[in-house]
Amino acid sequence: MLTAFARAFRTPDLRSKMLFTLGIIALYRLGANLPSPGVSYSAIQTCLAQVQDSSVYGLVNLFSGGALLQLSVFALGIMPYITASIIIQLLVVVIPRLESLKKEGQTGQAKLTQYTRYLTIVLAVLQSTGIVALGRGTPSNLFPQCNLPIIPDESVFRVLTIVVVMTAGTALIMWFGELVTARGVGNGMSIMIFASIIATLPAQVAAVLQTTTTVVSIALGVLALVVVVAVVYVEQAQRRIPVQYAKRMIGRRMYGGTSTYIPLKVNQAGIIPVIFASSLLYLPSLLQQVAPPGGAMAEFIARFLTPGNPVYVLGYFALIMFFTYFYVAITFNPVEVADNMKKYGGFVPGIRPGRPTAEYLDFILSRITLVGALYLGAVAVLPLLALSFTGDEQFPFGGTAVLIIVGVGLETVKQIESQLMLRNYEGFLR
């Protein structure tokens, strides 16, 4: 594998793509550690050391590489773009106009991408305003246990400046991601998330080693290795539905008669259900901060809806199961696939074209989705189960982080390998 990487760097165009991607990642990490104007950097660092990153905004902070709680230029990270993409995908199913754009091919997809960009800016303005509002006051809602002023000057001009800078940072990240997709290696947005999570791993591993005994640390290391291997195995797993195309005579030429397959991945929904479920379960924690202390709502949330509580874990698992089925249902339409196969003379051996094929695909997909939902739920609740061993909310090798790291890593390696195969007929594995 090291020889293959050396060969990749010896290929001029592939080397330029990889260096371009690394350069964009370096600029992204620089902006993630650059404080916004008007934010007290020393106060932020002191408050971060006190709370040990145990904030309820863990998901967004994870996707921003720790930039959120520092109120940096790239504080929002790529999260507004992810949210906008999910919303557009859901609206495509509901709004006929967007559905027709999706069917128009590259032109329609470009229009949907433009709508996603506009929605990203709107969400960035809303989220940056909310984060700045939480950061105001002494103590602030971002760090309730820290009595230092994060934003010393709370004038309207200063607050608007921070909001504009954070929104511009989100737009710049979105541009970085598109540049990597067009001129670099891999999917740009995924690479941005990958870089953010990797940047926080060393600190999280060091924190776990400091707060646990040697035996527990070794056990967690073995568990992390098992989780990574299991995630790689399931992410690569797929059910292949054989498809046969009948021979057709067009003019004087014979077409068709080929055999292919429909690859149905076990994890058809990807990381989206975990993001949906995590976002919903963060709402009670946010409500607890604005609810009157000592009230019935605050007491209920503190008792049942905190990480590590059995009710929280079961609710998290159930939401992931639900959103997995929901997302697969709106992204894969068996009736449409069956109609397209019938239109071009394709059929599944032993199944009649048309409605029987759609019912067969739906039956297979529902069984695969069950396995994928159980897999996502098990990996996502693993950090919550590890709380009893580490006493730390940030278990580094579990849940969302491993799913993203493994998924993005595999896709990026595949792209580099395909580039090598074009030139040397050898990939990473001989």
When mean pLDDT is compared over 223-232, 277-286, 333-342, the highest value belongs to 333-342
Bond from prior residue into 139 cis (ω within 30 degrees of 0): yes
Residue 184 near residue 25 (C-beta atoms within 8 A): no
Q: Is the pLDDT of residue 121 over 90?
A: yes
Q: Is the pLDDT of residue 168 over 80?
A: yes
393-396 contacts, C-beta under 8 A, 24 or more apart: 393/53, 393/54, 393/58, 393/307, 394/53, 394/58, 394/204, 394/207, 394/208, 395/204, 395/208, 395/220, 396/201, 396/204, 396/205, 396/208, 396/224
pLDDT tens by residue, 355-407? 888 899 999 999 999 998 998 888 888 776 665 555 554 455 556 777 878 87
pLDDT tens by residue, 243-290? 888 766 666 666 656 778 888 888 888 777 887 787 777 767 666 655
**Category of 329 on φ-ψ map: left (φ > 0), alpha (ψ -120 to 50) or beta:** alpha
Residue 277 near residue 319 (C-beta atoms within 8 A): yes
Quickly state the pLDDT bin for 418 (edges 50, 70, 90): confident
Element (H, E) at 207: helix 188-211
CA distance 145 to 105: 52
CA distance 65 to 29: 8
Mean confidence (pLDDT) of the chain: 78
Residue 298 near residue 292 (C-beta atoms within 8 A): yes
Which of 172, 152, 159, 142 minimizes the C-alpha distance to 60? 142
When mean pLDDT is compared across 60-69, 83-92, 342-351, 352-361, the lowest value belongs to 60-69
pLDDT tens by residue, 300-316? 666 666 666 777 788 88
* Structure confidence at residue 53 (pLDDT): 47
Q: Helix, strand or coil for residue 300?
A: helix
Per-residue pLDDT averaged across 155-172, rounded? Answer: 89
Question: At CA 22, angle to CA 16 and CA 25, rounded to 5?
Answer: 140
Residue 183 near residue 88 (C-beta atoms within 8 A): no
pLDDT tens by residue, 24-51? 999 988 888 888 888 887 877 777 776 6
Token digits of residue 158: 């200063």
Single-letter amino acid, residue 148:
L
What percentage of the chain exceeds 90 in pLDDT?
6
Greatest alpha-carbon pair distance for the chain in Å reads 83
CB neighbours of residue 98 within 10 Å = 18
CA distance 398 to 396: 6
Residues in the chain: 430
Q: Which sign does the torsion angle of CA 18, 24, 28, 31 carry? A: positive
Whole-angstrom CA distances from 269 to 102, 169, 191, 274, 320 are 19, 29, 19, 10, 10
First to last CA, the chain: 9
CA distance 80 to 47: 25
Q: Is the pLDDT of residue 216 over 70?
A: yes
Quickly state the pLDDT bin for 296 (edges 50, 70, 90): low
Q: Is the pLDDT of residue 196 over 60?
A: yes
Per-residue pLDDT averaged across 209-238, rounded? Answer: 80
Which of 324, 230, 314 minimizes the C-alpha distance to 270? 324
Q: Can you give the pTM of this predicted structure?
A: 0.76
CB neighbours of residue 52 within 10 Å = 12
What is the DSSP pairing of strand 253-255 with strand 248-250?
Answer: antiparallel
Higher pLDDT, 19 or 284: 19
Token digits of residue 413: 């390696």
